[in-house]
């Protein structure tokens, strides 16, 4: 499955290099998101922060998406698994949308009164620095390889960057101004 029209025929060596890059970026993404989930869930529980807990749950959704790409590119012929991997990534977008809806409702109805969380602020800031780089690297490699699933997963990672920015803004507003609804 290709992202936009037929991809130019790749040299077999170049194709292997690109597939290896995808495996590497996905492994880094999974590792980072597992660590992010543990920290966010722990910090969210300590600070009674629905936003941090939701962010941790979102990290788990991102792991599922990246795991589908890891599964795809672990095969000798990843193109045969492209359609299934793309479907898993698509379902993970629904999980991500559910997270955003629940988090927005909790905020809107004032159901979360979080305490100050320096760990959450640091985590959101680090995620805001790391995730765009991982997204860019995976998107660039996926496009060259002609992999729609890798490109879709890179968009999922980019959305995490936006969520990190929103989380960071909310945590800072809560810490600096006492705006628990932020």
pLDDT tens sequence across 33-87: 999 999 999 999 898 887 888 899 889 989 999 999 999 999 999 999 999 999 9
Residues 6+ apart with CB under 8 A from 2: 146, 147, 148
Residues 6+ apart with CB under 8 A from 62: 29, 33, 92, 96, 156, 157, 160
Domain contains 173: yes
Return the pLDDT at 110: 65
Q: Tokens for 7?
A: 């991809």
Domain holding 117, by residue range, is 12-177
Domain contains 5: no
Domain contains 124: yes
Q: Where residue 148 falls among pLDDT bands split at 50, 70, 90?
A: very high
Domain contains 182: no
Domain contains 4: no
Domain contains 145: yes
Domain total in the chain: 1
Domain contains 2: no
């Amino acid at each position: 499955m290709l992202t936009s029209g037929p991809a130019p025929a790749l040299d077999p060596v170049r194709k292997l290099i690109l597939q290896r890059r995808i495996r590497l970026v996905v492994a880094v993404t999974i590792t980072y998101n597992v660590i992010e989930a543990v920290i966010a869930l722990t910090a969210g529980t300590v600070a009674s922060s629905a936003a941090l807990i939701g962010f941790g749950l979102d990290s788990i959704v991102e792991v599922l998406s990246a795991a589908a790409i890891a599964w795809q590119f672990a095969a000798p012929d990843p193109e045969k698994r492209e359609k299934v991997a793309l479907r898993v990534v698509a379902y993970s977008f629904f999980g991500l949308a559910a997270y955003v809806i629940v988090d927005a409702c909790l905020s809107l109805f004032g159901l979360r009164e979080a305490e100050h969380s320096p760990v959450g602020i640091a985590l959101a800031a680090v995620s805001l620095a790391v995730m765009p780089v991982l997204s860019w690297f995976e998107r660039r490699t996926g496009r060259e390889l002609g992999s729609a699933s890798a490109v879709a997963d890179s968009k999922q990672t980019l959305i995490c960057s936006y969520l990190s920015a929103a989380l960071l803004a909310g945590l800072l507003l809560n810490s600096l101004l006492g705006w628990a609804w932020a």
